[in-house]
Amino acid sequence: MLGRAVSMAAAMKKTKPKLESLPYLRRVRAAVGRRAQEAVAVAEAIAELAEPAMREFESSDCLAGFLAAAGFRVTRPWKDLPTAFRATAGRGRPAIGILAEYDALPDCGPRPGEWGHGCGHNLLGAASALAGIAAAELLRRLGEAGRIIVFGCPAEEALAGKVFMAARRAFSGLDAVLAWHPDGATRADIAGGAAMDSVLFRFRGRTAHAAGGPEQGRSALDGAMLTDVAVNYLREHTAENTRMHSVITDGGRAPNVVPDSAEIWYYVRGKDRKQVDELRGRVRLCARAGALATDTRLRMTVQTSNTERIPNRTLGDMLDAILHRCGPPSFTPRDVRAAAGLLPGKKYAATVDPIRTEQGRGSSDEDNVSWFAPLGRISVACVPKDTIGHHRQYAAAIRLPGAHRGMLKAAEVLAAAAVELALNRPLLKKAQAEFHKQRRGKKYDLPMPANARPPVYARPAGATSEIRNPKSEG
């Protein structure tokens, strides 16, 4: 028994990746440090802007300006997505992508009704840009080939930006792609989140006086409400891992007018596309029943669709090894006191956790990207453990000095990983071989219309269209 345990430990030791970037970690850290203040200024500027999905005009300006000032070639807007961009530095292969996000959430601002970064995307975008800058700088100084491509990805909170970018071949031709997210823990993550469909059900009826002649009306709102009643009964007969949640986005204007128009919006989630496709069909039957019962007309629209992740253990092991070598964020006593003042009883994580291999219940459009190139992803502690996400508590925590410390650590790890993939061709080939094996026999097939267009909003009046550099603005 002891011999078996020893042999298993030896086998696990052998699987640890041999890293080529370790001799350069000090130089990566120095490159991150040189632009740390600029990155913090970018993160704070985006936090103040707190722009909604697909309307992140000035937030996109900030990140694009940061990258352009560092010598990146910026294409913006990218295709028909006004707040998306692609920033490239370097030459030749491999082509390493880094994903940046910068959209905010409703009701997460300092006061009720205001937008705020309740998921920390201000930190996410700034760290990804800084990682790209540091990696490109080091590869240039080493005289090594390789392109670093930072993708400005709008509307992650709408689970849509990368879906539309992928449909326009943004991620085709990448050799690997890296991503991260602020969290209460520090670890590599290979599992990803749930597959998901964002579905709108629009009901059309007939108006009438709700008291004087209700028999003449056909209530679209009743159709939407009966749909939700049916979906609630459906929950008893679906797998435990599934999720179906909704809001009514249009329910009429006055109680004494029978609503002739109503809309209910669902997120339908499951472990993979197959399960979500089946569940969406059953939810559609609930909506058809609601329309039939109320003699109203129904139209269903799939707004966006997320896939499950194509896992890549090779990149997960690489990122885990780099995280352990770099260490978790080092929070100071001042950081701890500041967090305790805001969130009494909650503390920052002080260790690197094991690789997360269990699929999450939430969803992200970054999982769609994993179908186009090997994806490696980390979480880094930027807020105290158990801070409530998608909440103004989180939006306040990401403004603390400890959050900036976590952000800079994420940039360091991602930059080291990008350099590793550029220098360590055997490891990159192993990750790609695993990707092709995992991808074999699977089709990237979403239920959205082939000609689906992203929602496009006009730049606010008076807002500049020039790339901004927060450092130059003081």
Q: What is the DSSP track for 104-162?
A: -BTT-SSSTT--B-TT-HHHHHHHHHHHHHHHHHHHHHHT--EEEEEEEE--TTTT-HH
Tokens of 88: 């490239």
Residue 459's pLDDT band (cuts 50, 70, 90): confident
Give the global pTM. 0.91
SS3 28: helix
SS3 of 84, please? Answer: coil
Q: How many CA atoms lie within 13 A of 225 on its CB side?
A: 9
Neighbours of 137 (CB within 10 A): 24
The answer to whether 17-193+309-439 and 195-305 have equal CATH topology is: no
Confidence of residue 462 (pLDDT cuts 50, 70, 90): low
State the amino acid at position 368 in one-letter form. Answer: N
Cis peptide upstream of residue 255 (ω within 30 degrees of 0): no
Of all residues in the chain, the percent with pLDDT exceeding 70 is: 94
DSSP of 339-386: HHHHSTT-----SBPPPB-SPPSS--THHHHTTTS-EEEEEEE-S-TT
260 touches 202 (CB < 8 A): no
Is the pLDDT reported for residue 15 higher than 90? no
What CA–CA distance (Å, rounded) separates 432 from 248? 44
User: SS3 for 237?
Assistant: helix
In three-state secondary structure terms, 76 is coil
3-state secondary structure of 180: strand
Mean pLDDT over residues 357-373, rounded? 94
Q: Per-domain residue ranges for the chain? A: 17-193+309-439, 195-305
Question: CA nearest 61: which of 96, 33, 102?
Answer: 102
pLDDT at position 134? 98
pLDDT at 371 over 90: yes
Specify the pLDDT at position 6. 38
Residue 454 — very low, low, confident or very high, per pLDDT cuts 50/70/90? Answer: confident
pLDDT value at 354 more than 60:
yes
Q: Poorest-confidence range of 16-25, 354-363, 390-399, 457-466?
A: 457-466
Position 467 scores a pLDDT of 47
Among residues 402, 404, 405, which one has the least CA distance to residue 384?
402
How far apart, in whole angstroms, are the C-alpha atoms of residue 77 and residue 188?
31
pLDDT at residue 3 tops 50: no
101 near 124, Cβ under 8 Å?
Answer: yes
Q: What is the mean pLDDT of residues 359-382?
A: 96
The token duo for 159 is 């689970």
Topology of domain 195-305 in CATH is: Alpha-Beta Plaits (3.30.70)
Pairwise CA distance, residues 391 & 393, whole Å = 5
Q: Which is more confidently placed, 455 or 76?
A: 76
Q: Is 192 helix (H, G, I), strand (E, B) or coil?
A: coil
Instruction: Give the list of residues 6+ apart from residue 85 with CB closer than 8 angstroms, or none.
Output: 60, 63, 64, 74, 75, 76, 77, 78, 151, 152
Q: How far is CA 401 from CA 173, 326, 378, in A?
A: 38, 19, 20
Q: How far apart are CA 55 and CA 463, in angstroms?
A: 12
Which range, of 87-91, 275-279, 285-289, 359-363, averages the lowest pLDDT?
A: 359-363
Chain centroid to CA 105: how far?
13
pLDDT at residue 470, rounded to an integer: 47
1.10.10.10, 3.90.420.10, 3.30.70.1560, 3.40.630.10: which CATH number matches 17-193+309-439?
Answer: 3.40.630.10
> In whole angstroms, how far apart are CA 418 and each of 58, 185, 310, 380, 398?
27, 22, 19, 17, 25
- In order, the DSSP letters of 86-103 are EEEEEESS-EEEEEEE--
Q: Is the dihedral of CA 178, 182, 185, 189 positive or negative?
A: negative
- By CB atoms closer than 10 A (0-12, 13-18, 19+), residue 440 is exposed
pLDDT at 450 over 80: no
Q: Is the pLDDT of residue 156 over 50?
A: yes
Torsion of CA 77, 79, 81, 83, to 10 degrees: -20
What is the pLDDT averaged over residues 328-357? 95
Residue type at position 412 = E
Q: DSSP character for 19?
A: P
pLDDT reported for residue 23: 87
Report yes or no: 389 and 119 within 8 Å, Cβ to Cβ: yes
pLDDT category, 457, cuts 50, 70, 90? confident
- Whether 11 has a pLDDT exceeding 90, the answer reads no
pLDDT at 402 over 70: yes
Q: Give the pLDDT band (50/70/90) at residue 64.
A: very high
Give the start-end residues of each E strand in 279-326. Answer: 297-306
Cβ–Cβ under 8 Å, residues 186 and 329: yes
Taking 50 as the threshold, does the pLDDT of residue 229 lie above it?
yes
Looking at every residue in the chain, the average pLDDT score rounds to 92
